[in-house]
Every structure is written in structure tokens, then in C-alpha cells.
Chains A and B, each alone.
Chain A
Amino acid sequence: DVKVTQSSRYLVKRTGEKVFLECVQDMDHENMFWYRQDPGLGLRLIYFSYDVKMKEKGDIPEGYSVSREKKERFSLILESASTNQTSMYLCASSPGLAGGSSYNEQFFGPGTRLTVL
């Protein structure tokens, strides 16, 4: 059974703290993604990575950075958390072009609900 795991289901942090959200997939997927979900909005892409040490900005990268040192792990970093980063964060992965159809769907983790006080 394919699996994407995220380090925490719920997280509470204070304004200004540095926050790490970890995501691990066991499917040997090339592509990994970080989204945030806010009420009334679709999943919005923060960053994605299509290979180790590669990263691309998504639609809302401001205030975030990412790290992908190993193929299976993709970390989202909030350098200095702010209250407007309170949200649900979802990680996803998908095969790259070499690993399967380019139409492939994404496989999601369970999400981390982050509250910044």
C-alpha cells in the first residue's frame, strides 16, 4: 500500500518561531509537493520538487523554503512563522515522467494542521 506520511497531525507554534514540516514517501516517486488548504480556497501549491536537491516555487512561496536532500523526504520550512501561516498543510508525491504516465494522480499525506499564535 502506497504511503505518504507527515511528521505531525497537529502543531501549535508561536509567531517568529522556525517551523519544520516533514514529509516522507515510500513509493520511490520523483515528484513531491507542498500545498496549503484554507477554507473556500483550493489546494494552493507552495513548492514542488522533481528530483533530489531540486526545487521549484509554486504559486505562494513567500515565507516558506524547502529542502530535499533524499528522494523520499521533502521538508517545508517556515523561517519565521506568522499568524497568516495558520493553515492545513498537505504533502503529496507522484511518479516522474520516467516512472509512469505523465497523467498520474498525486498521492497525499494526511495533512498537518498548523496553528501560529
Chain B
Amino acid sequence: ILNVEQSPQSLHVQEGDSTNFTCSFPSSNFYALHWYRWETAKSPEALFVMTLNGDEKKKGRISATLNTKEGYSYLYIKGSQPEDSATYLCASKTSYDKVIFGPGTSLSVIP
């Protein structure tokens, strides 16, 4: 089983702070990388689907970068808000039907 790692495991930031976290995945057999946001009592929802080395995606205050050669992706949140509090999951897709999830980074934004 290939391992996908995320760091840090949890994070507490003040409202207005910018933050980032890391997803590490095996660079061999790379197919795609997904980022999901999982808010408490809700379903995980996809934030980004990334496929190309050097990809940068942005959605509002959240952005992500991808380095497939070294096997990492960064997720950035600019000016964190309390509604950003959630667990952020990354998932490495190694083929069209095989996905490995990381353990997640739990973000708490303190008002």
C-alpha cells in the first residue's frame, strides 16, 4: 500500500492569519491529486483536482500547488476565517480507479 502523508496533523490559527499545510505522496505512479474539505457534520467536498506538475489552482482565498516530481502538494489559506475550520484531506490517485487518502489536517480558526 502506498502511503500519503499530511502535515501537520492539526493546526490552530487566529482569524486573519494565513496558513498552509502539506501533502506528501509517492511520485511514482502519479495520476492525479485531490484536495477535499470535510466540515464537521457534513460530507467531504472536493476543492481541487490537480493533474500536471507545476499546477496551481485557486478558489477564493484557498490555493494549491503541485510538484509531481518530488511528490508533494501545498494547500494555502489566505486570511483564515472561522468558516475555514475543517479537516483537509488530500488523496493521491495512482490510476483511474485507485485512490489513497492521507490522514488529514484538522484546522481550527479562532475568532
Interface residues of chain A, those whose CB is within 8 Å of chain B, are: 4, 31, 35, 40-45, 48, 50, 59, 90, 97, 102-111
Q: In whole angstroms, how far apart are the Cα atoms of A102 and B49 in the complex?
A: 11
Contact of B76 with A by CB under 8 A? no
A15, chain B: closest CB distance, angstroms: 27
Number of CB contacts from chain A to chain B under 8 A: 50
Within residues 31 to 84 of chain B, which ones have a CB less than 8 A from any CB in chain A?
Answer: 31-32, 34, 36, 41-46, 49, 51
A105 touching B49, Cβ below 8 Å: yes
- Give the interface size class of chain B: 20 to 34
Please name all residues of chain A whose beta carbon is closer than 8 Å to the beta carbon of B43 when the two chains form the complex: 4, 90, 107-111
Q: Are A59 and B1 in contact (CB under 8 A)?
A: yes
Q: How far is the CA of A110 from the CA of B43 in the complex (A)?
A: 4
| Distance between Cα atoms of A58 and B44 in the complex (Å) | 20
